[in-house]
A and B are shown apart, each in its own frame.
Chain A
Amino acid sequence: SQKIEQNSEALNIQEGKTATLTCNYTNYSPAYLQWYRQDPGRGPVFLLLIRENEKEKRKERLKVTFDTTLKQSLFHITASQPADSATYLCALDANFNKFYFGSGTKLNVKP
């Protein structure tokens, strides 16, 4: 069966450092992968999308990589700030625009 794995343990980093979150998947061949941010009690907010033929995508302090051979995506936040503290979810498209989400990784950025 399909599986999407994200580190279940919280990631604690110091303000100003780069946070790197991992998303691994099996039994999928997604055409694209997305990253979302979710704050407690709120719906997810779209951050970045990367397609299977793209190796890297950037948006301001965010960077996403997509390795279809390793079946892995890395999500980086450079110069992290306490306001970046949230849970980050990766999502893979199945078909018919259906998305399946990983369990999310909670990021804590300490001042």
Chain B
Amino acid sequence: GAVVSQHPSWVICKSGTSVKIECRSLDFQATTMFWYRQFPKQSLMLMATSNEGSKATYEQGVEKDKFLINHASLTLSTLTVTSAHPEDSSFYICSAGKGAGTDTQYFGPGTRLTVL
């Protein structure tokens, strides 16, 4: 199988605080993971590509200083939303592939972030 987990599944925080979301590939190693954001009734918007051992690559319009990504191992990537504001409230989803050049992406269950 190919299972990707996320933690937490939901989080509520106060405006101005930082929130860390973890993405783990449980039964495979992933050199590359992707982070998406999804607003209600909208599609997934790719935020950044997380590369193990190197800096993340951010999509145009995504602030890298606000959305900090760390891919410290082949099974873990973290997304930290710094100084969160209510407009950052969204559904954050990560995905991972089984190897370089692989096609299928396996998605985590998502993390619902609500910023008050």
Contacts and interface: CB of A to CB of B under 8 A. Distances in A.
B110 to A, nearest CB: 5
User: A interface, by DSSP: helix, strand, loop or mixed?
Assistant: strand
Contacts of B46: 98-101
A22 B30 CA distance: 31
B104 interface: yes
Interface in A55-111: 89, 91, 93, 96-104
B103 A96 contact: no
A44 B103 contact: no
Q: Size class of A's contact patch?
A: 20 to 34
B93 A44 contact: yes
Nearest to A42: B109
B4 to A, nearest CB: 8
B107 A97 contact: no
Nearest to B109: A43
16 contacts: A32-B103, A34-B105, A42-B109, A44-B44, A44-B93, A44-B107, A46-B105, A46-B107, A49-B104, A89-B43, A89-B44, A97-B101, A98-B34, A99-B95, A101-B44, A101-B46
Given A42-B109, A44-B107, A96-B32, 18 more contacts: A34-B103, A43-B4, A43-B108, A45-B107, A46-B104, A49-B104, A89-B44, A91-B105, A96-B57, A97-B32, A97-B101, A97-B102, A97-B105, A99-B46, A100-B46, A101-B36, A101-B45, A103-B43
Interface of B: 4, 6, 32, 34, 36, 42-46, 49, 57, 91, 93, 95, 97, 101-110, 112
